[in-house]
Chain A
Amino acid sequence: MLRIAALGIDVGSTTVKIVGVNDTGGITWHHLEQTEPSIEKQTARFFDIIKEKIENLKDIPVIATGYGRNLVKEAIRSVTEITCHAKGIYKEFGHGGTLVDIGGQDSKVIVIDSEGKVIDFVMNDKCAAGSGRFLENTATRLGYKINEIGDLAMKADIEVPISSTCTVFAESEIISMIASGKDTSSILKGLHKSLIKRIVAMIRSVNFMPPLLLSGGVVNNIAIRKMIEEEMGEKLIMPTYPQLMGAYGAALIALDENK
């Protein structure tokens, strides 16, 4: 049987994550799935899975976060992803900084002080061009898997600038670039740059506090990492489980409430 003292569930627009922590706040279990249309059904299934792994689920506090946080019936309450990410990051590193989280359909920049408190944040959840979805859509268009495009972009010497500010139009722009014989790696490099410019503009709109931290699914993309570092002139630090920071923070808050 697993040792779980608290659970956090992060219902994002692209993935749902659940994290279990022990008494000292260490991650003992986690599970991740693509988000399904019926969140209630999906989260109920998550809890069925965990029921088989632990004995006393009803005694374990659960906090929900993410855009679907208010749909999780099993949670004692919901907390926003901003607070949860800060909590998770602070626990992992023991210090604050400026966290950039690039999610599937949104991105956020959170400034965390030396005591782990959120002192500022900005979010972009209105425009897919500032999120992971931007890369995913265009990668598919070009016939690549999302985990291949970062390496490919890094291989390019030159960068083809993408002028469209919108994911949908960027796609058509790319199609016409391919048609005119532009090199795919160079297009991909331009595409990454376009996303990074948006992210950096968000970082610049808050009172930046070093170090620069990065979380979210795109952490695995080397081009993203390198380009942010270049643009900001700062070294990036990444958590062990970049996709789980929201759910982890939620579990830690649940743990605190139980004490």
Chain B
Amino acid sequence: MKIGQYLKYYLNVKLIGNNFLRYQRIKASSKKIIPLKWRTDILAPPLKIDAKTKELIAKHYLEGQFVSGVRPVAWVTSGAPVEILKALDYYVLYPENHAALCGARRKVVDISSEAEKAGYSRDICSYARTDLGATLSKKTPVGRLPKPDLLLACTNICQTVLSWYRVLAHYYNVPLALIDTPFIYGELRDHDVEYVKKQLEDLITIAERVSKRKFNYNNFIRVAKYSKEATELWLEIMKCCKHKPAPISVFDQFIQMAPIVEMRGQKITIDFYWAMLKEIKKRISDGIGAVKNEKKRLLWDNLPIWYKIRYLSEYFGERGISIVASTYTNAWGELASLIDYSNPLESMAKTYLNPILNHGPKYKLNKMKKMIDEYHIDGVILHSDRSCKPYSIGQIDQRNTISKECGVPSLLLEADHNDPRAYADLQVETRLAAFVEMLK
């Protein structure tokens, strides 16, 4: 570590930046001012925890700007076994989360065009295009992204990450660790678990070599505990939405899920979700619903449409409709139960084999059926995401089965989670309006 780099890091991040962001958050929370444009006539006020979310994310990207040379840096896929890296004190960047942030801030067309100019097709996932565009052009709304020392891709979400991370490895000329998780067609098989476990052991060796640090098992168990606790809290938060009226909507969930994805395995994440849970329970006891006058409750399938969060939230809010659950946000709470400290590597292998996208469409269908029942759902919106093929495949059949077997209407909504060029306002509006008329 170079002393100059460390001093810069200490000064900008630890001494000034973090304290300033903390001060800003305290100031914002004490004022209790509702943003001017917030539709208080139809929606509950924003969650108080919002200020903390903003602080956490800002701190994370601030650290990213100065971390190179101070801590080892890894870029990882959202479903990667990050606990191993966190145990070695890696700074972990999630290109998918960064891309989502670009989406929410409407920067995707500009950044993704940089990748398209370089020859990457618009048929590639818009997260990948946003990340490759940001890599090539250095454009980002967060200042600067740290160069990775290690790349970690896990195929439990899709095969896109495989090619995407290979491009990154080539570009940055750094090692790429790959965790290949065999697709689960039926039951989890022992030899799949063994196969993934072996790769996790290899990952430890690579991560040690790159960071020039020794892997410490106790650290690893501590990080795994934090991960498990945070995921359990997240699941409990999701379950609070079974309550009528639902204290938070899926749009709140989309925004508040950042820490569970990119800050898993950290103590602050647990504190964060404890505070969030407390606030939500208070809403329940005060009878506050995310949507005032909740009349209908919906389930959302697939990723959010990041650049339309506000529009959709208000569109449904105006009509007394609350989207109370989603397969996507729920998925982040489902893995927790598999982590077992007495057998950390094997349970980690099971955990990372288990994401919803590593199972067939029937698995997701069964989850949806269960959620329709448990969350008292009146209708389902299946976002057919142009980018995310593994999430969208099978949706037509899922839609038909839901209508037939659960007796609730469902809508297939064609869009893209990050690229607004695959979204047509008028056409979406007509479908939503027709769907709302059906719900009456």
List the interface of chain A (C-beta within 8 A of B): 67, 79-83, 117-123, 125-126, 205-207
Contact = CB atoms under 8 A, between A and B. Distances in A.
B438 to A, nearest CB: 5
B433 A80 contact: yes
20 contacts: A67-B426, A67-B430, A80-B433, A80-B434, A80-B437, A82-B437, A82-B438, A83-B437, A117-B438, A118-B434, A119-B409, A119-B438, A120-B403, A122-B412, A123-B427, A123-B431, A125-B427, A206-B400, A207-B400, A207-B404
B424 interface: yes
Contacts of B409: 119-120
Contact of A119 (B403, B414, B424): B403
Contacts of B16: none
Interface of B: 396, 400, 403-404, 409, 412, 414, 424, 426-427, 430-431, 433-434, 437-438
Contact of A125 (B400, B412, B430, B433): B430
Nearest to B400: A207
A162 to B, nearest CB: 24
B319 to A, nearest CB: 13
A199 B143 CA distance: 49
A209 B433 CA distance: 23
Contacts of B396: 205
Given A80-B437, A205-B396, 12 more contacts: A79-B437, A80-B434, A83-B434, A117-B438, A118-B434, A119-B403, A121-B434, A121-B438, A123-B427, A123-B430, A125-B430, A126-B424
Contacts of A125: 427, 430
A207 to B, nearest CB: 5
Contact of A82 (B412, B424, B427, B434): B434
A181 B434 CA distance: 47
B357 to A, nearest CB: 23
A79 B404 CA distance: 26
Given A207-B403, A207-B404, A118 B438 contact: yes
Sort A-B residue pairs by CB-CB distance and give the 10 closest, nearest first: A82-B434, A80-B434, A83-B437, A80-B433, A118-B438, A205-B396, A207-B400, A125-B427, A207-B404, A207-B403
Nearest to B414: A126
B330 to A, nearest CB: 25
B440 to A, nearest CB: 9
A83 B439 CA distance: 11
A80 B435 CA distance: 9
A125 B438 CA distance: 19
Nearest to A83: B437
B430 A80 contact: yes
B399 to A, nearest CB: 8
Contacts of A117: 438
